Structure 1
Amino acid sequence: MKKILFLSTITAAFLMAACNKDLNQVPISSSTTATFYKSPSDFLQATNAIYADLHNYPVRLANMSEIRSDNIYGVSVTVRDWDPVNDFSPSLAANAYVTEAWGTDFNGIFRANTLLDQVAKNGSYIGSASLATRLQAEAKFLRAFYYFDLLRYFGKLPIIDHPVTAPEANSIGRSSVADVYKLIIADLQSAIANLPTTYTGVDVGRATKYAAEALLAQVYMAKSAPNYGIEGPGTGSNEWNLALPLLQDIISSGKFAFESTYSNIFSYANQSPAVNKEAIFDVMYTSGISGTSDLYGASYPWTLAPSAYFLSIKDTKSDGSLEIIPVSNDLANSYDAADTRKAFSIYTAGYTNAGSTENRPFFKKWLDITKIPTASRFDWGINFIAIRYTDVLMLKAECILNGATGGSQADVDAIVNQVRTRAGLPSLAGVTLAQLFDERRREFADEGSRWFDLQRSGNLLTIMNSWIAKEDAQKAIKPVIANYVIYPVPQTQLDAAPGLYSQNPGY
């Protein structure tokens, strides 16, 4: 199986140098860029460096979407970084997860800007107009991907669409959500027009036209959601009719397929995007590269699994989180007894380590204990499906239920029942939006979509506060208010240029 190594020797050096991820970081100095872009391979490596900032994306989804949601009740014995995320602390600005999200995504944006600038200035070195166009399209897709990730977490953002110096960055304030959406949409429309539908050989796994269509559909849907009275991702724009044709084009393309067996979607033997027809866009990892596992391999499979479990099966590399981050009782109990997704996604058997027995469930969807890496816990060899075909189908159903023309209740029922049949469940008739989101919760558990689904539902506050009343036996979680739909601006950014940004309300 061939994969893109999104981190080459040069790009790995860039990534390791990117320890300071403040907004004023310039990832490649002007003197370096003046000499680096002299051959097609230089431009390809620079494009790979943009992909490299996807490396932590699935870990971020676990820490900031799953843990934030009603899927996890993560109260720890010793306060960990995930506790204030899970309990809605207003003092999150210095949290490591919040800081990482802002810094890594903007690093990817800076790299995309550098590549786009150099194609414009030195594109003649590429030698192929079609390759130059494709690399620009990949950079725009990735810039949109990072900006959309940031917008869903933070709301208003500084718009930086070209290389800037540190002093320039320190003068760029946050733009409105509407203006950030304009940049994202323009980038994705350009990417759709210029990305190929497929790749071959070592290029398999790069962003395609269909990945850009799926992302743009998600953008329109997030934008269409209620705004909760804050400057967050929802604007109430009612653009479901713009999302539906994009989703339908992916479905009609015949390039993807609904996997008949749920577990096979996540099988280590079904990794190549050329083989796994559920995978529309992967974050790709390669294990077993000596001395570089932290850069090439994955750590996300154990992010929500406890280290004590791994020790109980005699894995001594300290795989797993420092403490258990339990699946909520509410989610675990929501599965029908016949639902095959529960046993695959959630570990419920209990385990004993150092004389202590733990019976609370935890997520294990991405774990295969026969594939535990030998060298490093950061070297798991499984791709993360960032956009999968079942999601496209269910997003289509969501658009129809929100009034998009071009579909019917029968279409909605057919989609949901296809998902339920695969899970071993009986069919439903007259599926509602609430039922759709309920089904999505189980289908995409441990894939990082829950918090964003709650945002779009318009019922985030009601659902979360009802869940807290049932689940929070320790009375550790604060009431969820509208301001907590998004996160605070990291303290590092407020300190980098005092007065440039105002903090998000509520923090």
Structure 2
Amino acid sequence: MKKIFFLSTIAFSFLVSSCTKDLNQAPISSQTTATFYQSPSDFIQGINAVYADLRGYPDRLAYLSEIRSDNIYGVSVTVRDWDPINNFAPGISANTYVEEGWSTDFNGIFRANTVLDQITKNGSYVGSASLATRLQAEARYLRAFYYFDLVKYYGKLPIIDHPVTAIEATSIARSPVADVYKLIIADLQFAAANLPASYTGVDIGRATKYAAEATLAQVYMARSGSTYGIEGPGLGSNEWNLALPLLNDIINSGQFVFNPSYTSIFSYSNQSPAPGTNKEAVFDVMYLSGASGTSSIYGADFPWQLAPNTYFLSLKDTKSNGSLEIIPVSNNLTNSYATADVRKAQTIYTKGYTYSGTMEIRPFFQKWIDISKIPTTSRFDWGINFIAIRYTDILMLKAECILNGATGSQTDVDAIVNQVRTRAGLPSITGVTKAQLLDERRREFADEGSRWFDLQRSGNLLTIMNAWRTTEDTQNKINPITANYILYPVPQSQLDAAPGLYTQNPGY
């Protein structure tokens, strides 16, 4: 399964047109599509190309979630592309990371639409009804995954549920968030009903019914969050009771295991698709290192995105790269770990290092870095998967649902949190509150991209972030954080492609 995400893009590259800078996002010409889907393997390649747009997903979480949150104080000496994200600057509609999030997710959506359209038109070539249904379910899961990613960042979106031409794309306006959610929920319900519980062989790592249930639970929980008075992901819908049965089904399935060792969750030797490995992974973005040719790399680059280049250079490693400047973990997060908490050493590098005569003592994220596994050929070829949905998260989301009124008891909540704390080497606590759960999630999932979305959902994002800004922002770089900044702007390229079609999000 490691192969399917990215190797397929070579075979598919002649089919897919660019959509990174404008609305001309019809990914496959009608003529080429009509002649390509002629066998089961063609449809498999088609769905694999939809997975391929997950490759940069963990990088996006690093820049649009971690750096945006109170986990990082990313102020650079020379202004970098992440600085305005960190600083809540209003003029970021043309920012590299803002542009990438929109274009890559929509590219995945258009690819999914093409596969679904071709199954409808040329389903006789798929080979069997069961495979056709599974591929439909995979495509709809991934379409929902990409749309959910988008709605959390940008709010209102154009709903595109079938292949469109470039001209047609320039006439599809943004729809209300509630309507976008209708498509997401329908897709995830279909996926959960039609995806298998597990796979074998080369198919290990494809979306399962439990991945669909987990994402659907996250959708219900995001919808249940505060609206903050904006057209964002929170609808105040109070659907915690809809999320809980989905989480319970995953927990009761027996497919996943709470790993007793925190560090082994992120071990390079504990990776799918080897049978029996990493039972913490409900759904992960899979990479293939060491299979690169002269011009194609299929490994990961996310391990070094938030670590500085000078750190790798201090190790006399000239291939791993790293950020152009250090992107420090905030003092607030670093100091929140108890002395005995084993998660801190796994997550944050605090030892300091010297490069070119300069001592760097600021901490940075290292959760996914193993210096014994530094790739020898390319900084884009790290051999570790990214766990997009972790079993520990399923447990802690259940606790959150209960604290928000879903069926369950305080004893249930305490048991979940103390299971997490015991693994971290910490004593048990009782009477866990929402605030305590939010803090525990922050330490558990730091450098995994969940913090910004946890804050969105909590209803306390503005209070927490502005209090953090007051104490952390010693350089006075971060603007006051208002509700409008919970969303990112619509990318400037999209506004320019069809003037007047989209209205920019307020505040930008």
TM-score, normalised to structure 1's length? 0.98
- Are the aligned partners of 2:289 and 2:297 in contact in 1 as well (CA < 8 Å)? no
Deviation, structure 1 residue 17: 5.2
- Structure 2 residue matching 1:296: 3-state secondary structure: coil
Distance 2:135 2:46 in 1: 10
Deviation, structure 1 residue 6: 1.5
- Are the aligned partners of 1:4 and 1:203 in contact in 2 as well (CA < 8 Å)? no
Distance 2:488 2:126 in 1: 41
- Are the aligned partners of 1:4 and 1:205 in contact in 2 as well (CA < 8 Å)? no
Residue 63 (structure 2) pairs with residue 63 (structure 1): yes
Residue 495 (structure 2) pairs with residue 494 (structure 1): yes
For 1:229, the aligned partner's letter is G
1:387-432: CA deviations, max 9, x gaps? 0100000000000000012x11000000000000000000010000
Question: Which residue is equivalent to 1:6?
Answer: 5
For 2:203, the aligned partner's letter is D
Deviation, structure 1 residue 28: 1.1
Distance 1:76 1:15 in 2: 40
1:353/1:12 CA distance change after superposition, 3 Å: farther
Question: Which residue is equivalent to 1:393?
Answer: 395
- Structure 2 residue matching 1:6: 3-state secondary structure: helix
Between 471-480 and 7-16, the greater mean CA deviation after superposition = 7-16
- Structure 1 residue matching 2:387: 3-state secondary structure: strand
- Structure 2 residue matching 1:182: 3-state secondary structure: helix
Distance 1:336 1:159 in 2: 46
Residue 323 (structure 2) pairs with residue 321 (structure 1): yes
Distance 1:490 1:482 in 2: 19
- Are the aligned partners of 2:12 and 2:45 in contact in 1 as well (CA < 8 Å)? no
Count of residues paired in the alignment = 505
1:447/1:26 CA distance change after superposition, 3 Å: same
1:222-246: CA deviations, max 9, x gaps? 0000100000000000000000000
Question: Which residue is equivalent to 2:174?
Answer: 174
1:215/1:294 CA distance change after superposition, 3 Å: farther
Question: Which residue is equivalent to 2:34?
Answer: 34
Residue 116 (structure 2) pairs with residue 116 (structure 1): yes
Deviation, structure 1 residue 21: 4.4
- Structure 1 residue matching 2:388: 3-state secondary structure: strand
Distance 1:14 1:425 in 2: 54
Question: Which residue is equivalent to 1:48?
Answer: 48
Unmatched segments (≥5 aa) in structure 2: none
- Are the aligned partners of 1:64 and 1:85 in contact in 2 as well (CA < 8 Å)? yes
For 2:330, the aligned partner's letter is S
Distance 2:264 2:146 in 1: 29
Question: Which residue is equivalent to 1:353?
Answer: 355
Residue 454 (structure 2) pairs with residue 453 (structure 1): yes
Distance 2:343 2:295 in 1: 30
Deviation, structure 1 residue 13: 2.0
Deviation, structure 1 residue 22: 2.5
Question: Which residue is equivalent to 2:343?
Answer: 341
- Are the aligned partners of 1:21 and 1:107 in contact in 2 as well (CA < 8 Å)? no
Deviation, structure 1 residue 23: 2.9
Distance 1:314 1:295 in 2: 22
- Are the aligned partners of 1:159 and 1:174 in contact in 2 as well (CA < 8 Å)? yes
Distance 2:223 2:261 in 1: 33
Deviation, structure 1 residue 26: 1.2
Question: Which residue is equivalent to 1:22?
Answer: 22
1:4-43: CA deviations, max 9, x gaps? 4222254452598536343321111111101100000000
- Are the aligned partners of 2:23 and 2:498 in contact in 1 as well (CA < 8 Å)? no
For 2:167, the aligned partner's letter is P
Query: Aligned-pair RMSD on alpha carbons?
Result: 1.2
Distance 1:36 1:200 in 2: 27
For 1:160, the aligned partner's letter is I
Question: Which residue is equivalent to 2:375?
Answer: 373
1:323/1:501 CA distance change after superposition, 3 Å: same
1:67/1:56 CA distance change after superposition, 3 Å: same
- Structure 2 residue matching 1:281: 3-state secondary structure: strand
Distance 2:216 2:441 in 1: 20
Distance 2:15 2:180 in 1: 26
Question: Which residue is equivalent to 1:155?
Answer: 155
Deviation, structure 1 residue 103: 0.1
Question: Which residue is equivalent to 2:72?
Answer: 72
Distance 1:131 1:493 in 2: 36
1:223-242, aligned counterparts within 5 Å? 223-242=223-242
- Are the aligned partners of 2:5 and 2:48 in contact in 1 as well (CA < 8 Å)? yes
Distance 1:361 1:14 in 2: 44
Distance 1:467 1:285 in 2: 36
Question: Which residue is equivalent to 1:484?
Answer: 485
1:313/1:17 CA distance change after superposition, 3 Å: farther
Distance 1:318 1:490 in 2: 30
1:339-395: CA deviations, max 9, x gaps? 000011100000011111100000000000011111100111100000010000000
- Are the aligned partners of 1:12 and 1:295 in contact in 2 as well (CA < 8 Å)? no
Deviation, structure 1 residue 291: 2.3
Distance 1:351 1:184 in 2: 46
Deviation, structure 1 residue 506: 0.3
1:334/1:16 CA distance change after superposition, 3 Å: farther
For 1:412, the aligned partner's letter is V
For 1:283, the aligned partner's letter is V
Residue 444 (structure 2) pairs with residue 443 (structure 1): yes
For 1:277, the aligned partner's letter is K
Distance 2:353 2:161 in 1: 50
- Structure 1 residue matching 2:400: 3-state secondary structure: helix
Deviation, structure 1 residue 318: 5.2
TM-score, normalised to structure 2's length? 0.98
Question: Which residue is equivalent to 2:306?
Answer: 304
1:132-211, aligned counterparts within 5 Å? 132-211=132-211
For 1:492, the aligned partner's letter is S
- Structure 2 residue matching 1:28: 3-state secondary structure: coil
Deviation, structure 1 residue 3: 2.9
Q: Sequence identity, in percent?
A: 77
Question: Which residue is equivalent to 1:280?
Answer: 282
1:15/1:367 CA distance change after superposition, 3 Å: farther
Question: Which residue is equivalent to 1:267?
Answer: 267
